[in-house]
Structure 1
């Protein structure tokens, strides 16, 4: 997972795509999430996209779908 996060972060930085990663490390943080906590979640413009761990190709699909 750390490698995926690093790659996604690098891709977004290189392509000037704003990104943030929120570490959920407590029950309180999990309960405050806008979806069911499943270890991984991707939101774009505040809209839930997937719980699947993705790669840069997945990020490109999400961006293209929402363009």
Structure 2
């Protein structure tokens, strides 16, 4: 995802990214914390469920 930041050259720009399989990550016997919270940008709506892994997990994306 971070590698795509340079493609965001104007406010509201959208870029396609690969889907992250959060269900598989959370079922992989990794310890994580889960809590209900809000978006980090206005309007800061409280509609997010945050899943924070105890350890860093690296995922590599391949494009064809």
TM-score by length of 1: 0.22
Q: Which has the higher contact order (CA 8 A, sep 6+)?
A: 1
TM-score by length of 2: 0.22
Point out the structure with the larger helix share.
1
Greater gyration radius: 2
